[in-house]
Structure formats: C-alpha cells, structure tokens
Structure 1
Amino acid sequence: MSELAAKVNDARGRISRAVWDTVAELGIEATTVRAVADRADCTTGLIMHRFGSRSAMLVHARQMLFERTSARADSVAEARATSAAERLFAIACTALPLDDERIVEARIWTGFAAASIADADLRELHVHNTRQWLARITNLVAGLDSDVTDADATEYAQQIIAVVEGAAVLAVLDDTMYPPARQKRLLHQTITDVVNRIGSDRL
C-alpha cells in the first residue's frame, strides 16, 4: 500500500470512528456534520466529500452498527454449542445490552429506529438490516426440528426478536428494572416456550 493510500485509509477510519462516537455520545439529532468534523479534527468539507450529505453519514453509522452486531453473532455461531436451542439462545443474547459496549449499541439502535420514521433512507436500511437479523434467527429456529414449517419458524423468530429488541429498548431507558440477568431470563423463557411448542430438545 502506498503512503497516499495509507493516509486516505487512516482518514476514512478516523472519520468513521468520529461518526460512531458522536452518535453514541450526542444522539442522532445532535450528530451534525460540524460535530463530526470537530471530533475528527478535520473540515466539514472533508466530511461532505466523504459522505455527500448528513443523511448518508447517518446511513454509514447505521451500517457500522449492523456490521458490529453481525460480527459478534458470527463469532458466537462459530463457537461450540451442545444443542440447537443453546446456539439460538447464545446468538440471540448477542443483541441484548449486557455490557458497556452493547449498551452503547442499543442506545444507537434505539435512536436510529426513532429517526427512521422520518428519514426514508435510514428506514430502508433499518428495515433491510432487521430483516437480515430475522432471517438469521428464523434459520436457527428451523434448526430446532426438521418438522418446523417455514411459517412457524418465522413466527417463532419474530416472537424471539420482539422480546430481544423490546428488552434492549427498555434496558436503555430503565437499566434498574431490566438488568442483564433479567434480560437473559426473559429471553431464556421465550426460547424455552418456543422449544416446548416445537417439541425439540430442551434448552
């Protein structure tokens, strides 16, 4: 890699980190081009050259969130699990705000969900990414038993995701009432219910 290419990559990485950190600290509404430029120690012109618009900058941050959470789920998927139910539980847990890093991600996810209502570009990406997550969980549910129909697998996956994302939002707003242990219990109970209804091996 040439020195120029290395500098370009370094600048892109610095700007991406600045976008992420600004969204995490200030929220979606306060994440302006100026705020990101100040954090990245560069001009607003460089930010606009990189993204073209504030909306595109936020889309970039939303995609970063999806890539981070997907990578975590992938790492868990590669680990050994004694049963399909345990694998499902472990991967679903990766979306819960159980530590400081995931609490930040949950705050960002919640902010993007709200912002997506009025921003068509954000909404399109948000829906696309959440449906990819649904597809992953649906495949895991289908792996619980060969007799599970596609329709049932999708519905069970939607039930699991509703609990995960609901718990994540509630934990962001009220971590005293929804601490990590309670989040995991709620998810465990939900997956146990799904397993029992399917008639698969217990979690």
Structure 2
Amino acid sequence: MSRQRDLPGQRARLSAATWAVLAEQGLPGLTLRAVAERAGCTTGLVLHTFPDKRALLVHARELLHQRTAERADAAEALGGTPSEVLRAVLLQAVCLSPEKREEARVWLGFLAAALADPRLAELHTANNRSFCRRVARLVAAGHPDWPPDRRDRAAKHLVALVEGLNTLAAVDPETYPAQLQQAALEAAIGSLSRL
C-alpha cells in the first residue's frame, strides 16, 4: 500500500521556509535550493509546489497580505472612536516588533522583484490599493464632511508614512525604533485636518 503524501503539511513547511529565506536573505537569497534546504526537502519537491521563483514570491506576498488584513480586521473589530480605530489599524501595520520587521523584510523583497516584473507589480498595486481603501474608509468615518478626494489624499499620506517607516525600520531598527514610529503616526493622525 502506498503512503499518502501530506500535501497541506508539505505546503505549510515550504511556505514557512519561503518566508524565512526571504526575510533573512532577501531577494538574492530566495532560491529554490535555499527553500528546499530550509524545509529539509529536495528542490524537486519545492518545484512540485512552486514551479519557479515568481511563484515563491507570489505565495509570500499573498501570505503577508492575509496576515496584515487579519490584523487590521481585528484592530477594527475592537472598536472605539474613528480616530482610535484608524490609529489601531495603522499601528498594526508598522514595524513595532521583530515579527513585523520580518514581515517588512518580506514585503521589501517582494517589492524589489516587482520593479522588474509587471505581474508582481500588479499584485503589489492591488494589495496596496486595498490598504489605501481601508484607510480612506477609516478617515471618512472620522471626517464624514470631507469630500472623497480629500479623504483619499489623507489616506495616501498615511499609507506612505507607514510604508516608509517599514522600509527604514526593516533595515535600521536602531534609528527607527517603535517609539519613533508611533510618534510619527500620532503626529500624522493629529495633523490630518491640515491635509
């Protein structure tokens, strides 16, 4: 009798290995061989699940989008004033912990690859716009009298700040510690009425 392969378990191991390699070694280190070594399997097994490096990157980006969306949903579900909910959603998105710094490194690896790959750029754009729409909706909850273009502009300012902080803190957390990131977000939220 032949043994049944544990396909969900195999995919989970490869997923964790892909994530770890991209977070630790960046885009240059993300190879089928590195993922196989990290997962303790052959490159053939990796190729059976992910046919190429692009598939590894897409998987990592989709996993990142899922994680951050779940955290943002949870932050919104806690409720509070519109300003408190906006603050909670933005704070869950910046590098305030080693786990989030790892996520930022995965995001940067994907983004670097997306610069030269239109299909990856399309995925990045879709996910970024999804985050912008969420933030615009939260801004609108606190400023229902603002016209849509003003809400969108404010949301893009906040998202740009979050992504800029993530980029800088992913590489230099000493210069951009959690306290500085939180203070920058507080200042930006406090100055929304000037946008």
Global fold match (TM > 0.5): yes
Identity rate of aligned residues, in percent? 39
The C-alpha deviation readout for 1:150-179, integer Å capped at 9, x for no partner, is: 111110000111111111112223222211
| Whole-angstrom CA distance in 1 between matches of 2:125 and 2:172 | 25
- Would you say the 8 A contact 1:84–1:140 is kept in 2? yes
User: Do 1:65 and 1:109's aligned partners in 2 also have CA atoms closer than 8 Å?
Assistant: yes
1:22 alignment partner in structure 2: 21
SS at match of 1:118: coil
Whole-angstrom distance in 2 between the partners of 1:16 and 1:111: 15
| Residue 109 of structure 2, aligned match among 111, 123, 127 | 111
CA contact (8 A) 1:24 1:108 kept: yes
C-alpha distance in 2, partners of 1:142/1:78? Answer: 17
Residues in 1 aligned to 2:104 and 2:18: alpha-carbon distance in whole angstroms:
16
1:58 matched to 2:87? The reply is: no
Count matched residues. 193
Map residues 88-127 of structure 1 onto 2, 5 A cutoff: 88-127=86-125
2:44 corresponds to? 45
Match for residue 131 of structure 1 among 119, 129, 132: 129
Q: 2:72, 2:129 → 1: CA distance? A: 15
Contact 2:27–2:112, Cα closer than 8 Å, also in 1: no
Q: Name stretches of at least 5 consecutive residues in structure 2 with no aligned partner.
A: none
Aligned residues of 2:168 and 2:176 also touching (Cα < 8 A):
yes
The equivalent of 1:201 in structure 2 is none
Matched to 2:64, the amino acid is L
Quote the RMSD (CA, aligned, Å).
1.6
Aligned counterpart, 1:80: 79
Q: Shift of residue 52 of structure 1?
A: 1.7
Q: What is the identity, as a one-letter code, of the residue corresponding to 1:60?
A: H
Q: 3-state DSSP class of the match of 1:94?
A: helix
Tell me by how many angstroms 1:145 deviates. Answer: 2.3
Aligned-partner residue type, residue 128 of structure 1:
A
Letter in 2 for 1:11: Q
CA distance in 1: counterparts of 2:124 and 2:76, whole angstroms: 23
Alpha-carbon separation, structure 2, partners of 1:67 and 1:100: 18
Unaligned runs of 5+ in 1: 199-203
Residues 173 and 26 from structure 1, CA distance in 2 versus in 1: closer, same or farther, beyond 3 angstroms? closer
Q: Is the 8 A contact 2:115 2:121 kept in 1?
A: yes
Name the counterpart of 1:69: 68
Aligned positions of 1:140-179 closer than 5 A: 140-179=138-177
Q: 1:69: how far off?
A: 1.1
Mapped partners of 1:174, 1:44: distance in 2: 33
Contact 1:103–1:172 (Cα < 8 Å) also in 2: yes
Query: Separation in 2 of the partners of 1:164 and 1:45?
Result: 39
Which digits, 9 at most, give the CA deviation of each residue in 1:114-139, with x for residues without a partner?
A: 22111222211111111111111011
Give the TM-score taking structure 2 as reference length: 0.93
Distance 1:41 1:132 in 2: 35
Which moved further from structure 2: 84-93 or 72-81?
72-81
